[in-house]
């Protein structure tokens, strides 16, 4: 018969009941999955939270590790008591004496009022030695070293000739920054001196050259017996130096003083004061400097 249903067949309207029976199972599965997923998500978030909480500490630790380690600064050279040193110079003469003091290495420099004035450069062999050192001339260097050891004018003049004469020596002095050093005659040329040709330097130039000589290894070449001239070495120090005397009653001392702490270059240029007062001034300056740098 048309439209008859087979025996036992489910009527068409029974299909929704089958669907409704499956839905709770699906819902239950989804809920279980959410619970599991939620637990995993919570655990992930918890771990991430812990890591984030630890991050500032880790970052700080890294920063502290990478920060540069502070190092103790080098002990600075002691400052020279310029007022005291100037008062010593003034007690002898504020016009006829010039003093300059400086550590061989970097440090404070003391220059008296006349330290940049030109004085007669009696006994001043340092520019010849330093120029010969820079020239690379073996013959000039040999004569210059002999000059330094013995304070020989003849050896000094031979070195000057080997360097190319006075014009070459003055060219070196100017180029090296020693603007107050000017040689117009050879060593020991009394006739030229009497005719108005003279050698000049300043205490400041000379002290800078003393420091340069020490750095160049020339300290031990300056072996003149300063004690024989009345210059006293302060206790615990060693003196290496030269002495010069000449026109205008000039009396000069160029000294490298070794102390327990540092080496110091000291120049004392005088005129119209004589040997004894120049030596006494030098001794007083050395004693004061030694007290300050020990």
- Among residues 97, 134, 294, 121, the alpha carbon closest in space to that of 213 is found at 134
Q: Which domain holds residue 116?
A: 82-293
Q: Is residue 281 part of a domain?
A: yes
* Token code pair at residue 217: 């290894």
What is the predicted pLDDT for the residue at 232? 97
What is the predicted pLDDT for the residue at 64? 41
Q: Is residue 76 part of a domain?
A: no
How far apart CA 204 and CA 211 sit, in angstroms, is 11
CATH code, domain carrying 146: 3.40.710.10
Q: pTM for the full model?
A: 0.74
pLDDT digit string (tens) for 220-261?
999 999 999 999 999 999 999 999 999 889 999 999 999 988
What is the predicted pLDDT for the residue at 234? 97
% of the chain at pLDDT higher than 70: 73
Q: Is residue 146 part of a domain?
A: yes
What is the predicted pLDDT for the residue at 77? 52
Q: Is residue 6 part of a domain?
A: no
What is the predicted pLDDT for the residue at 260? 83
* Token code pair at residue 58: 């880790």
pLDDT digit string (tens) for 127-169?
999 999 999 999 999 999 999 999 999 999 999 999 999 999 9
Q: Are 176 and 267 in contact (CB under 8 A)?
A: no
Give the total number of structural domains in the chain: 1
Task: Count CB atoms within 10 A of the CB of residue 25.
Answer: 9
Q: 3-state DSSP call for residue 201? A: strand
Find the mean pLDDT for residues 279-288. 98
> Cα angle vertex 43, ends 39, 48, to 5°?
150
**What length does the chain have?**
294
Find the mean pLDDT for residues 191-210. 97
Q: Provide the terminal-to-terminal Cα distance of the chain, rounded to the nearest Å.
A: 134
- Flag whether pLDDT at 60 surpasses 60: no
Q: Are 118 and 239 in contact (CB under 8 A)?
A: no
Name the range with the highest mean pLDDT among 42-46, 68-72, 103-107: 103-107
Mean residue pLDDT of the chain comes to 81
Q: Is residue 25 part of a domain?
A: no
How far apart CA 16 and CA 24 sit, in angstroms, is 13
Q: Is residue 72 part of a domain?
A: no
- Among residues 118, 268, 245, 133, the alpha carbon closest in space to that of 183 is found at 118
Find the mean pLDDT for residues 36-54. 42
Q: Is residue 132 part of a domain?
A: yes
Q: Is residue 141 part of a domain?
A: yes
How far apart CA 182 and CA 121 sit, in angstroms, is 9
How far apart CA 268 and CA 207 sit, in angstroms, is 9
How far apart CA 98 and CA 159 sit, in angstroms, is 28
């Amino acid at each position: 018969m048309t439209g008859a249903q087979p025996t036992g067949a489910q009527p068409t309207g029974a299909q929704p009941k089958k669907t409704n029976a499956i839905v709770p199972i699906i819902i239950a599965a989804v809920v279980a999955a959410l619970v599991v997923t939620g637990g995993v998500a919570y655990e992930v978030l918890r771990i991430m939270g812990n890591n984030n909480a630890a991050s500032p500490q880790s970052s700080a630790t890294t920063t502290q590790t990478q920060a540069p380690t502070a190092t103790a600064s080098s002990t600075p050279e002691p400052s020279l008591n310029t007022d005291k040193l100037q008062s010593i110079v003034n007690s002898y003469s504020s016009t006829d004496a010039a003093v300059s003091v400086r550590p061989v290495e970097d440090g404070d420099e003391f220059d008296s009022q006349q330290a940049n004035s030109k004085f007669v450069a009696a006994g001043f062999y340092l520019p010849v030695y330093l120029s010969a050192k820079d020239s690379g001339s073996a013959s000039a260097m040999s004569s210059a070293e002999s000059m330094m050891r013995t304070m020989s004018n003849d050896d000094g003049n031979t070195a000057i000739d080997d360097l190319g004469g006075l014009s070459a020596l003055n060219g070196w002095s100017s180029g090296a920054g020693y603007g107050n050093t000017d040689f117009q005659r050879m060593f020991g040329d009394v006739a030229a001196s009497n005719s108005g040709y003279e050698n000049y330097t300043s205490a400041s130039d000379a002290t800078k050259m003393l420091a340069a000589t020490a750095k160049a290894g020339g300290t031990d070449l300056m072996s003149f017996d300063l004690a024989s001239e009345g210059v006293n070495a302060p206790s615990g120090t060693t003196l290496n130096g030269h002495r010069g005397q000449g026109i205008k009653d000039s009396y000069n001392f160029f000294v490298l003083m070794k102390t327990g702490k540092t080496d110091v270059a000291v120049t004392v240029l005088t005129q119209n004061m004589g040997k004894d007062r120049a030596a006494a001034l030098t001794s007083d300056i050395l004693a004061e400097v030694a007290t300050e740098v020990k």
